[in-house]
Copies of this chain bind each other. A is one copy, B any other.
Amino acid sequence: MRLLTAQQFNAESQQYIDHNDENIDRAVLEIIRDVRENGDAALLKYTKQFDKVELESLLVSKEEFLEAKAQVSLEFVVAIQKAKKNIQEFHEVQKEHSWFVNGENGILLGQKVTALNSVGIYVPGGKASYPSTVLMNAIPAKIAGVKNIAITTPPQSNGKVSPYVLVAAMEAGVDVVYKVGGAQAIAALAYGTGSVRKVVKIVGPGNAYVARAKKWVFGDVAIDMIAGPSEICVVADDTAIPRFVAADLLSQAEHDERATAICITTSSAFAEQLQEEVEKQMQTSERKEIIEQSITDNGKIVLVGSMDEAFEIVNNLAPEHLQLMIENPLEQMHRIENAGAIFLGNYSPEALGDYIAGPNHTLPTSGTAAFSSPLGVYDFQKKSSIIQYSKEALQDVTEDIITLANAEGLQAHANSIQIRKVDD
């Protein structure tokens, strides 16, 4: 793992990144067009082509749900239920409520909060399975009051969906699961097909094709975010334990060769120990190839002169996961402007938040924490403003509205006020 100064690190961060890839876009746009025109037939065709499975039905059946229940261990069910409880408790606090204020002369202003009617959750599949993704996306939608929640996930080579995913779906109260992945799944959720019901919002992570498809359907439906590779940033001082930090960096690196693991430290002794620990732990890790690639390409230890310098880097980076493994982390938290989630102290590793602590693990990646938030109940609710004026209240502002409408050259706006003035 490379050791850099703050200056070296900043110089490397000034890269020009172009996220657009014309080849992916062309393929994705063709898939979207095809699904809009040919519906289920297109979905079945792409599932055969990409997932190497010929399906008869795109829907997971009741029997398959029951099979899944029989296939998972009791420990798994217990763990899922514990996670569910914590996620529910945390997200309940986020629920928003309608509000109003009264003014003079019968003025009523406010906002009415309503749940989205329907949501589609993309859950990556194929070889791996992500039951935690199911909980983290479905539970906030349920708490918001979304009536129609569907999951879509690519089938395994046997034409089934992972039992872990199906059990998590049942625990989260989702009973519609489609066996379709990729850009075709996003198109189906956005526009509907014979089997797949159109939704108004699509959430959940996916590969580059899924991400681009989400970008293309955005506007016709809402999306959560366009997720990039995952990152961790650990700020460590002398009180941090190198073994722990190394394990945390590796847990991020195992996600993806493009994942980023960065440790910023004020201690050169710690930096050296960390380098050794990372090398050592890498040798015994199961996903060694991915981890080595990721650490070699994107792993960095940044040695800084002060905590001020450390937090300046953090705020420029806007990391998805930020671990403060320093003395009195809570006292330093006010310095953080941009981060998806902040983990405090030596016993709050990222994996705790990924699975069970309660806050959402869907976090803004690739610096987007500078302008976006973790997924939450608020992503599944929307607001309508409310305006009620009485005749008297309107009279009081009549001249002002007419002045402003005239300044904008919008005479019919002015007239809609004027016409109410002369009425008795």
A371 interface residue (CB < 8 Å to B): yes
* CB proximity to B under 8 Å, residues A76-129: 76, 78-80, 82-83, 89-90, 93-94, 99, 101, 107-109, 111-112, 114, 116-117, 128-129
Q: Which partner residue on chain B sits nearest A350 by CB separation?
A: B416
CB–CB A416/B369 < 8 A: no
A419: chain B residues at CB < 8 Å are 243-244, 247
CB–CB A359/B93 < 8 A: no
CB–CB A384/B247 < 8 A: no
A391: chain B residues at CB < 8 Å are 346-347
* CB proximity to B under 8 Å, residues A274-318: 281, 285-287, 291
CB–CB B337/A388 < 8 A: no
A101: chain B residues at CB < 8 Å are 89-90, 93
Q: Which of B248, B344, B403 contacts A75 (CB 8 A)?
A: B403
1/0 contact string of A211-250 vs chain B (CB within 8 Å): 0000110111110001000000000000001011001101
Q: Which partner residue on chain B sits nearest A130 by CB separation?
A: B408
A176 interface residue (CB < 8 Å to B): no
CB–CB B352/A387 < 8 A: yes
Bound: A283/B59 CA distance, A: 57
CB–CB A412/B253 < 8 A: yes
CB–CB A410/B251 < 8 A: yes
1/0 contact string of A320-358 vs chain B (CB within 8 Å): 001000000110010011111111111111111111111
Bound: A399/B222 CA distance, A: 37
**How far in angstroms is the closest Cβ of chain B from A183?**
15
A132: chain B residues at CB < 8 Å are 404, 408
A423 interface residue (CB < 8 Å to B): yes
A62 interface residue (CB < 8 Å to B): no
CB–CB B76/A403 < 8 A: yes
A260 interface residue (CB < 8 Å to B): no
Given A114-B338, A415-B285: A382 and B353 within 8 A (CB)?
no
Chain B CB count within 10 A is highest, among A255, A336, A384, A399, for A384
A114: chain B residues at CB < 8 Å are 336-338
Given A114-B337, A390-B347, A403-B79: A109 and B358 within 8 A (CB)?
yes
CB–CB B387/A348 < 8 A: yes
A291: chain B residues at CB < 8 Å are 412
Bound: A169/B95 CA distance, A: 34
Stretch in contact with the other chain, from A1-9, A46-54, A372-380: A372-380
CB–CB A83/B404 < 8 A: yes
**How far in angstroms is the closest Cβ of chain B from A208?**
13
A194 interface residue (CB < 8 Å to B): no
Q: Which partner residue on chain B sits nearest A75 by CB separation?
A: B403
Q: List 9 A-B contacts (CB under 8 A).
A: A83-B400, A117-B338, A129-B408, A244-B419, A251-B412, A340-B384, A346-B391, A347-B393, A373-B383
